[in-house]
Chain A
């Protein structure tokens, strides 16, 4: 179980099939939030540069001593061939280390004389062996695989055996080798063994690491001439695998074995026979591999798939014309581009996984030295004549060939000056070219050679373009090849460009810039790590004047605009104006009275008349036709007229009533809802209907909200926004939520916030939690965690980490219900799973014909619902498919090579290989869907998270230091500690990796820096010595789980520790004291719990699995533990709140104490006890029966 299989960027780019859209999923963020990626290129002097998609300048690759011939980039790394003919790999830096566990087993046998000792029987295994016992593995014989690794620590004994701590020494016992080992020594335990582990860490990050030469020089007699990285998208392959291919000078093709994220160097080169001599190779992100041959043909690899990344055979593709062979090829996901010996560029039509050879060549405009296809099938090229870098503009999934070549005129970052100082860079003048280029074809080599024979380092060939006239070559669409023009002709065609750029050229002619300040001609480019999608705004193509550039930066970023003087002045003047024009005239009559209701009611009703009578300040109405999920059986959608009436009471408070008029048995009736009683408005996007639920305390108790559906999405969001505004207005809730707010997430990913009232946590007469008002925030999350200093983090379904920006609204809350700033685009991706079920019969083997009693042959996980590929739809109308169906190989229990899992019958436990007893099999199919919305969230790139916890702080602790402790578990199970988190910088600055011996699932930090965590194997851990000065603590203490239970979540409040197991049992940690923070035992509190959140006052809130109301049952209900007292931290019962589809809740910001503080005493006690040599359990509560939140 390796902890560190992958960093986020790799997973984000593990795409099934050929889904281009999904590729975008990870990148389609708002500009501010969008993680940037990089284009790699080599200039003629062998210097390697990178250009960020968010940047404007080339940056010289660090470790610049080496000169390179070729580079080939993937998202997490870049491979290259240096001028010393050695192969190097450059792995980008990350906060999460690449770690690999080495292990060895110490084996002992009992003998009557010495007891257990190293003396084994001759037939036994080695005293030191691998897990199988077959390989000799002494500890000092385990060496680091290359100089790029280092040991993390010395060897140590692993005392954790399947989540249970072992007896001293970590020994496990068995009757004999090999057998089943147990924790306990029995009378017949003749042998024992224990596991030694040691971690090694890849250290050569953010630098070029030399791949060790082959040991046997005979195998690799000649140096490599070309290298290509790809294959990270091969359908269903293990995440993080890479294909690295190389061509040697002798024309042989080599494959690097075992390259993956945890093993970035791979293990060895193996020869792949080719029918001809190769010159150059290109491996696409998916399963395309093309090779160009000396003879001018191309070789195409067939049979590349998950189980055989090297492929099986070659096909030959003839060049476009026989006289000019292929010089260079580059493969993408669904395209291949080529350059022939006459420098012409060709696009291969009809290339895909099923037909890697494609159908035909199309000639493109332009003359290139080489072309490179990167992510999303985007294309870069190096011009033949000018050696300038071009980007193929307009490449989309529907138009893979793009529109035009656009010159990249990004400047080179000058040494010593920083990225921010644009003006100094620009004033250096080094980005401006010294000549004007017309169309590529117009430039014959003799033209430039005539002026400047030979390559000239000072010869800067960047297209000079003023800001208003981006340099763009006149090459148009692919199929419209332009006639060749003479050079003079071309110049005449672009008089504007000539004039404008010649101005820019003047300083260059006067003072030749230093060669280090001015990049030269390009030799190679690789876009394999560069994510450009249709909507990415690249700043590579224009050079702004210093002033306009800085001005534009000002106008684009939010903060300066917010603080701009003009804005302040408007606010100030408006205030002054109001004072001037209104202050002394308030007694004047208003010209427009808030007129009384002359509106049409569909039915007369005395009720509203009464109301209007009571408050003459009335009414405006929104009316409409909706559908209502009727209260009576059979429940169904009935057409209703709906009216919202808004009035202003004498106290000036606005309130509204929602009337729902319906007809039953030809009788007109209505129900009404006072909006000041509404506790939540929840969008329910199901059954292809745009519906929403309206909750009041009464309706919450009944578990039966008013459900309304609109005809269109627009109609629904209009209603929802209006009702939300009215609710907020009548409750005087507006603006951003307070730092103490309680955050929650529904199972649809909608985010709700509730402001805790002061009596929410009062010891007596507390506010029942069904009366809490929940207001929706824009965005889509799976997890949200807050702390009382206003730091809120979220995690999406795709594990992306998000930080709250301080805005409000977004999503369907546009306009008034939304803040003007701090709202960004947010997207999320999740998987839909269906199962293919088959039964074995003696004649035909496994078929999709089951027994009559069997489940559907295509079903959901339970087998109860029929789910075919064709009929299964995305979860709601918000979601759109972004991939095709693909087999999921990562299901629990394992699968065979085709993804099948076997069992004796449905339903049963499934395993990954067929046995004699297995009569049924199934496999899981997955399809990704994506949602795009907006909300007050910014991505915290690049590491994907599984869980996050922020230190809960009581009000007294405010401003207790700049740092706010935040812990997280990555989606790979790495435990991480965020540094630099503060109110002003809620996103923090960097991750500190906290080593663990196994992947973790959940983490929680308590108010006194007690960090608890739950590993994926269900065991709990306590982290020792965490403090503000030692944010990561020192070591883990294994805490045994409750008997026979695997824990899945833990939550630590101020002092109280609660954990949740996989069967929904909630456990309280007994005996936790400052001097013995690990506590003594788990005590059962309740079952039927799905999620727990313990707050800064040690208040306990959960999401209950099932709650029965008077009308119906709801799953996923917010519940608060009642009767929680310092002496009774487990509480007594449950108080049920909003529910039906709630998934996650965080009360960890809710530090507002009730009138009589209860936990202050505990806190004081905790502090008093801290430092005492020993402490007795402060918890007096004896185990007692507590009612469960279940009623069914």
Chain B
């Protein structure tokens, strides 16, 4: 019998095989070999790329090194998006491994946030968790936690410790027995086709008539173009963690099982590959 717990594990241990290559214009002392790595889907680029940085810095002069940043097919990769989201959104239809270009120069100030240290990632991560809990439980759960619990969440993510993370995170996934779900579902919907970075609205897991809202209900409400494209021809994929859940899937279940560690459902709407 498959258990819903297995979903949590599968989500957590999702990996994207990645090939890092140094940008051609970077000045090196000798040739930079590409660097291959399995990136955790649920983590953040700048959190898991110490090895990449070290690898390329070995072939570079100290004065040519400034803040590292990544780019895929011309798009700078936002480190504050989870890796799995970046991949689903930008590269899910291309062949593996994922080819990421590493830059040490010309930081794209208008596209990316600076990431001077892991503390910044932690701050970003925790603010997402708090925002999610504000939506789910009016912040009651996260505020009742102790500082060490917050730390454990972060350390669990940083050290890829599933048990450590979920020992705390499960509390964020609870809801009162008399309710049928969270107050609102923390979600963000991303589309490559629009300028808007993402869609985020208040949406309840349960309709007023007590019926559970599904993924389809959510899309119909907040992003109708995703399910019924106006141009008729082009269909979209609705992707979370590299899979396409059926539109009948209850949103509450998705939120409990397919949320990223920041407790948000990051949903990518991408055009159906034409082939």
| Cα separation A578 to B7 with both chains bound (whole Å) | 12
Identify which of residues 545-592 in chain A touch chain B, using a CB-to-CB cut-off of 8 Å.
Answer: 548, 551-552, 555, 561, 564-567, 569-571, 573-578, 580-582, 584-585, 588-592
| Cα separation A216 to B243 with both chains bound (whole Å) | 83
Contacts A535-B178, A555-B211, A555-B250 known; A589 to B245 CB distance under 8 Å?
A: no
Pairwise interchain contact A591-B5, C-beta atoms closer than 8 A: no
Asked if B74 lies at the interface with its beta carbon under 8 angstroms from chain A, I say: no
Closest chain B residue, CB of each to CB of A572: B243
Pairwise interchain contact A569-B246, C-beta atoms closer than 8 A: yes
Pairwise interchain contact B246-A588, C-beta atoms closer than 8 A: no
Pairwise interchain contact A594-B210, C-beta atoms closer than 8 A: no
Pairwise interchain contact B211-A814, C-beta atoms closer than 8 A: no
Pairwise interchain contact A820-B242, C-beta atoms closer than 8 A: no
Shortest CB-to-CB span from A457 to chain B, Å, is 32
Shortest CB-to-CB span from B121 to chain A, Å, is 13
Which of B4, B18, B208 is the most central at the interface, judged by chain A CB atoms within 10 Å of its CB? B4
| Cα separation A819 to B37 with both chains bound (whole Å) | 34
Shortest CB-to-CB span from A396 to chain B, Å, is 14
Pairwise interchain contact B211-A552, C-beta atoms closer than 8 A: yes
Pairwise interchain contact A620-B37, C-beta atoms closer than 8 A: no
Asked if B77 lies at the interface with its beta carbon under 8 angstroms from chain A, I say: no
Pairwise interchain contact A820-B5, C-beta atoms closer than 8 A: yes
Asked if A521 lies at the interface with its beta carbon under 8 angstroms from chain B, I say: no
Shortest CB-to-CB span from B164 to chain A, Å, is 5
Closest chain A residue, CB of each to CB of B156: A620
Asked if A815 lies at the interface with its beta carbon under 8 angstroms from chain B, I say: yes
Q: Which residues does chain A contribute within 8 Å of B166, judged by CB atoms?
A: 815-816
| Cα separation A571 to B7 with both chains bound (whole Å) | 7
Pairwise interchain contact A589-B37, C-beta atoms closer than 8 A: yes
Asked if A767 lies at the interface with its beta carbon under 8 angstroms from chain B, I say: no
Q: Which residues does chain A contribute within 8 Å of B132, judged by CB atoms?
A: none
Pairwise interchain contact B170-A816, C-beta atoms closer than 8 A: yes
Pairwise interchain contact A468-B14, C-beta atoms closer than 8 A: no
| Cα separation A193 to B37 with both chains bound (whole Å) | 95
Pairwise interchain contact A591-B248, C-beta atoms closer than 8 A: no
Q: Which residues does chain A contribute within 8 Å of B164, judged by CB atoms?
A: 620
Pairwise interchain contact A594-B160, C-beta atoms closer than 8 A: yes
Closest chain B residue, CB of each to CB of A586: B38
Contacts A566-B245, A588-B17, A591-B51 known; A815 to B170 CB distance under 8 Å?
A: yes
Asked if B109 lies at the interface with its beta carbon under 8 angstroms from chain A, I say: no
Asked if B150 lies at the interface with its beta carbon under 8 angstroms from chain A, I say: no
Asked if B186 lies at the interface with its beta carbon under 8 angstroms from chain A, I say: no
A589's partner among B36, B96, B257 (CB-CB below 8 A) is B36
Pairwise interchain contact B3-A820, C-beta atoms closer than 8 A: yes
Closest chain A residue, CB of each to CB of B171: A815
Shortest CB-to-CB span from B147 to chain A, Å, is 14
Closest chain B residue, CB of each to CB of A551: B211
Shortest CB-to-CB span from B83 to chain A, Å, is 9
A588's partner among B8, B37, B161, B243 (CB-CB below 8 A) is B37
Asked if B167 lies at the interface with its beta carbon under 8 angstroms from chain A, I say: yes
Identify which of residues 583-619 in chain A touch chain B, using a CB-to-CB cut-off of 8 Å.
Answer: 584-585, 588-592, 594-595
| Cα separation A861 to B11 with both chains bound (whole Å) | 57
Identify which of residues 1129-1146 in chain A touch chain B, using a CB-to-CB cut-off of 8 Å.
Answer: none
Shortest CB-to-CB span from B58 to chain A, Å, is 16
Asked if B115 lies at the interface with its beta carbon under 8 angstroms from chain A, I say: no
| Cα separation A582 to B17 with both chains bound (whole Å) | 7
A816's partner among B2, B49, B163, B211 (CB-CB below 8 A) is B163
Asked if A722 lies at the interface with its beta carbon under 8 angstroms from chain B, I say: yes
| Cα separation A588 to B38 with both chains bound (whole Å) | 6
Contact pattern, A 465-495, Cβ under 8 Å of B = 1, otherwise 0? 0011000000000000000000000000000
Pairwise interchain contact B249-A570, C-beta atoms closer than 8 A: yes
Contacts A548-B209, A571-B2, A585-B97 known; A565 to B37 CB distance under 8 Å?
A: no
Contact pattern, B 142-182, Cβ under 8 Å of A = 1, otherwise 0? 00000000000001001111011011001000000010000
Asked if B39 lies at the interface with its beta carbon under 8 angstroms from chain A, I say: yes
Q: Which residues does chain A contribute within 8 Å of B211, judged by CB atoms?
A: 548, 551-552, 555
Shortest CB-to-CB span from A901 to chain B, Å, is 45
Contact pattern, B 94-128, Cβ under 8 Å of A = 1, otherwise 0? 00110000000000000000000000000000000
| Cα separation A801 to B214 with both chains bound (whole Å) | 38
Shortest CB-to-CB span from A154 to chain B, Å, is 54
Identify which of residues 773-830 in chain A touch chain B, using a CB-to-CB cut-off of 8 Å.
Answer: 814-816, 819-821
Asked if A544 lies at the interface with its beta carbon under 8 angstroms from chain B, I say: yes
Asked if A709 lies at the interface with its beta carbon under 8 angstroms from chain B, I say: no
Closest chain A residue, CB of each to CB of B35: A589
Pairwise interchain contact B208-A468, C-beta atoms closer than 8 A: yes
Shortest CB-to-CB span from A556 to chain B, Å, is 9
Contacts A548-B211, A591-B39 known; A620 to B161 CB distance under 8 Å?
A: yes
| Cα separation A574 to B159 with both chains bound (whole Å) | 23
Number of A residues near B (Cβ < 8 Å) is 47
Pairwise interchain contact A577-B96, C-beta atoms closer than 8 A: no
Contacts A555-B211, A566-B246, A591-B43 known; A735 to B3 CB distance under 8 Å?
A: yes
Identify which of residues 164-213 in chain B touch chain A, using a CB-to-CB cut-off of 8 Å.
Answer: 164, 166-167, 170, 178, 208-212
| Cα separation A592 to B42 with both chains bound (whole Å) | 12
Asked if B16 lies at the interface with its beta carbon under 8 angstroms from chain A, I say: yes
Pairwise interchain contact A722-B167, C-beta atoms closer than 8 A: yes
Closest chain B residue, CB of each to CB of A544: B209
| Cα separation A816 to B169 with both chains bound (whole Å) | 11
Pairwise interchain contact B96-A585, C-beta atoms closer than 8 A: yes
Contacts A580-B96, A582-B15 known; A571 to B6 CB distance under 8 Å?
A: yes
Contacts A571-B6, A577-B14 known; A725 to B163 CB distance under 8 Å?
A: yes
Asked if B261 lies at the interface with its beta carbon under 8 angstroms from chain A, I say: no
| Cα separation A581 to B249 with both chains bound (whole Å) | 24
| Cα separation A1051 to B245 with both chains bound (whole Å) | 52
Asked if B26 lies at the interface with its beta carbon under 8 angstroms from chain A, I say: no
Contacts A581-B96, A591-B49 known; A620 to B210 CB distance under 8 Å?
A: no
Q: Which residues does chain A contribute within 8 Å of B40, judged by CB atoms?
A: 591-592
| Cα separation A552 to B39 with both chains bound (whole Å) | 40
Shortest CB-to-CB span from B4 to chain A, Å, is 4
Identify which of residues 224-275 in chain B touch chain A, using a CB-to-CB cut-off of 8 Å.
Answer: 241-246, 248-250, 253, 257-258
B245's partner among A570, A581, A590, A620 (CB-CB below 8 A) is A570
Q: Which residues does chain B contribute within 8 Å of A576, judged by CB atoms?
A: 243
Closest chain A residue, CB of each to CB of B247: A566
Pairwise interchain contact A574-B17, C-beta atoms closer than 8 A: no
Pairwise interchain contact A468-B246, C-beta atoms closer than 8 A: no
Asked if B10 lies at the interface with its beta carbon under 8 angstroms from chain A, I say: yes
Pairwise interchain contact A565-B243, C-beta atoms closer than 8 A: no
Pairwise interchain contact B244-A573, C-beta atoms closer than 8 A: yes
Q: Which residues does chain B contribute within 8 Å of A573, judged by CB atoms?
A: 243-245
Contact pattern, B 10-47, Cβ under 8 Å of A = 1, otherwise 0? 11011111100000000000000000111110010000
| Cα separation A535 to B10 with both chains bound (whole Å) | 36
Q: Which residues does chain A contribute within 8 Å of B6, judged by CB atoms?
A: 571
A577's partner among B8, B97, B178, B241 (CB-CB below 8 A) is B241
Which of B18, B164, B211, B242 is the most central at the interface, judged by chain A CB atoms within 10 Å of its CB? B211
State the B residues within 8 Å of A (CB). 1-8, 10-11, 13-18, 36-40, 43, 48-49, 51, 96-97, 155, 158-161, 163-164, 166-167, 170, 178, 208-212, 241-246, 248-250, 253, 257-258
State the A residues within 8 Å of B (CB). 467-468, 535, 544, 548, 551-552, 555, 561, 564-567, 569-571, 573-578, 580-582, 584-585, 588-592, 594-595, 620, 646, 718, 721-722, 725, 735, 814-816, 819-821
20 other A-B residue contacts (CB within 8 Å) besides A581-B96, A815-B166: A548-B211, A555-B211, A561-B253, A566-B246, A566-B248, A574-B10, A575-B10, A577-B10, A578-B10, A581-B15, A581-B16, A582-B15, A585-B15, A590-B38, A591-B43, A594-B160, A595-B159, A725-B163, A819-B3, A819-B5
Q: Could you list 24 A-B pairs, sorted by A, with CB under 8 Å?
A: A548-B210, A551-B212, A555-B212, A561-B253, A566-B246, A573-B243, A574-B7, A574-B11, A577-B10, A577-B243, A581-B16, A581-B96, A582-B15, A584-B17, A588-B17, A588-B38, A589-B36, A590-B15, A590-B37, A590-B38, A591-B39, A595-B159, A819-B3, A820-B4
